[in-house]
Structures are given as C-alpha cells and as structure tokens.
Amino acid sequence: MQLTREKSVGLLIGDHILANIAMLITVFFWGISFISIKIAVSEVPPITMALIRFVMASLLLLIVLQRLEPDTRLRQQDKKRMVFAGLLGITIYFCFENSGVKLTTASSASLITSVVPILSITLDVIVFKTKVSLLQSIGMGIAVLGTYLTITVNGTMDLSSDSFQGNVLIMGAMLAWTGYTLINKSLQQKYTGLFITTYQMVFGTLFLIPAALTEYQAWQLFSVTALLNIIFLAVCCSAICYFLYIYALKYLDVAVTTLYLNLVPIVGVISGYFILQETIAAMQLVGGAIIIIAIIIVNWDKFMKVSTR
C-alpha cells in the first residue's frame, strides 16, 4: 500500500514536471509565431493562410490520433461544445489574429496577448459567477488602463490608423481564446489532450473554408519562405503546441499557466526586435507592464492561499 502511494506521488510529480516543460515549449513557439505570421501574411491573405496552416495541422493530428487512439469516439452530448471550441479557438481566433498582425507589428500583437489572463478571470466571473475580492477588483481595474495604453500605442485613440485597427483585431482574438480556454475546462476530464486538440482543429478548419473563399481574388503563388513559415506554424505552433497547452492545463493550476502565458509577449517583443527590427512605443511597454502588475494583484489572494496550505 505504501509503495503504491509513493508510486502515485511520483507519477503526479512527473506529470507536473512534464506539464511545466510543455508550457515552456509552448510559450517559446507561441512567442515567435507572430514573426512567422507577419512574414506569411505579407504574401498570403490572412484567412487563406490560416486555412492552409490548419489543413496541414489537422491532417497531421488525424494520422497521429488514428494510430494512438483508434477506438476513442466523440460523445454526442459533447459535440456542440467541441464544435464551438473549434470555432472560437481556431476559426475566429486566427481570422482576427492574422488580419490584425497584417495591420500592426508582430511586437505589438504579442504584447497584447498579456491581457488574456485578465480576460479569463473576467469571463470566469461573468459565466461561472466566481467571486472576486476587493484586491482582485482593483487589479482588474488597473488592467483596463494597461490594455488601453497597449492598444492605442501612444495613449490616444486614432480610429483610422492601421495599427489601432490591427490591435483591436488582436484584442478580439484574445477574447475568442479566453472563451476557448473556458470551454476546454469542461472537456479535459473526458478526453485526452490529443483527442480534444485534433477534433477542435478539424472543426475549426472546416469553418475556415467558407471564410477563406472571400479572399479568392487575392490568391496567388507565394514564395518558399512563406511556405516554410506556414509549415512551422502548422506543425510547431498548432499541432504540437495546442496539444502541449491542453496537456498542461490538465496538471497545472490556472495561476501557474497564467504566469507562463505572461512570457509570450516578452518572447514576441524580443524576437520582433531582433528578427524583424521592429520598434515598440514606450507607452505600449508601460501598458504591458501595468497589465502584468495587474495580473500579479488579481492572483495574489490565490497564491497566498496555496502557500499557506
């Protein structure tokens, strides 16, 4: 009995270590993904690029799923949630993100991802009626200021500028991702990460087909460089990272994954600077710093509770 208990603890620790490694890999690839998107959408229409990317990723995952889980089936009662998650996390997210990155910089787009944890907490309160403390409410209020500075670039709202419109689209993508994450919470105990990732990617890809057809007039042959970036996005940032992210959500506390996601904009800004020679406005950096401070504030109560157990 004692050996069995020790073995169970050892397996649990092993799962947590692997989950942390999975988040580190995910954060790195997602951070530099904005660079590949920026390069690809300079030649390929944004929604069309997303379709090509996810056709590749879906085919890869379907082959792997068939080999590893040939008997697993999607339950009828979960089909609507699986389809809706694919619509949010694949179709809507990447229509918004790719279109946004085309208008703004890769650095700005990655910086705006820092708002995801705040959005997650806000939707958690709205949808699941989760109670928040006064300290958390103050933190969420501070985050609004940081988000405003990050999106508007210079603290003033120029509705006609490409950068502002692109940043708003990226913000819309973050809202879609937040909904996607919340839906997956209810599916993680029923299916493996591979199964969830594959089915949601397939459903999301199907929705991308009619959306991409609206861009047919802009279709043209593109370079090998654009193709290689799309392949990188499909294999590393989609097929592999989506699986790793869902795997990590199963074993890590939301507060821990939140801290990891805060590294995405840092990787994005650094890679944008060195690879694309992009610059970022000082007020955007201030806004990003304010958002990260706000995230620390809203999670402070939870960290304190965990540390006193």
Q: Which is nearest to 204 in space by CA: 80, 57, 81, 87?
A: 87
In degrees, rounded to 5, the angle at the alpha carbon of residue 237 between the alpha carbons of residues 52 and 150 is 105
Asked if residue 5 belongs to a domain, the reply is no
pLDDT for res 41: 93
CB-based contacts of 125, cutoff 8 Å, min separation 6:
131, 132
Using an 8 Å Cβ cutoff, are 131 and 304 in contact?
no
The whole-model pTM stands at: 0.79
CB-based contacts of 240, cutoff 8 Å, min separation 6:
25, 29
Using one digit for the tens of pLDDT, what is the confidence trace for 7-22? 454 445 667 788 889 9
Write down the H helix ranges in 104-188: 106-112, 116-128, 134-152, 162-185
* Cα 270 off chain centre by: 18
Helices (H) and strands (E) in the chain, counts: 14, 0
| Longest alpha-carbon distance in the chain | 68
Asked if residue 34 belongs to a domain, the reply is yes
For residue 122, the tally of other CB atoms under 10 A from its CB is 19
For residue 55, the tally of other CB atoms under 10 A from its CB is 16
Asked if residue 7 belongs to a domain, the reply is no
Judged by DSSP in three states, 55 sits in helix
Asked if residue 285 belongs to a domain, the reply is yes
Asked if residue 168 belongs to a domain, the reply is yes
Asked if residue 290 belongs to a domain, the reply is yes
* Cα 164 off chain centre by: 21
User: 């006193």: which residue's tokens?
Assistant: 308
C-alpha span between 135 and 145 (Å, rounded): 16
Using one digit for the tens of pLDDT, what is the confidence trace for 172-220? 998 898 888 888 877 878 888 889 989 999 999 999 999 999 999 999 9
CB-based contacts of 236, cutoff 8 Å, min separation 6:
29
Q: Tell whether the torsion through CA atoms of 14, 17, 19 and 22 is positive or negative.
A: negative
CB-based contacts of 224, cutoff 8 Å, min separation 6:
none
Domain total of the chain:
1
pLDDT for res 255: 59
Using an 8 Å Cβ cutoff, are 40 and 49 in contact?
yes
Using an 8 Å Cβ cutoff, are 38 and 97 in contact?
no
Structural domain boundaries, residue 65: 13-307
pLDDT for res 306: 46
**3-state DSSP percent of the chain in helix, strand and coil, to 5:** 85, 0, 15
Using an 8 Å Cβ cutoff, are 42 and 223 in contact?
no
Q: Is 153 left (phi over 0), alpha (psi -120 to 50) or beta?
A: left
pLDDT for res 7: 46
Name residues of the chain where pLDDT drops below 70. Answer: 1-14, 117, 128-130, 132, 136, 147, 151-160, 253-256, 258-259, 295, 298-309
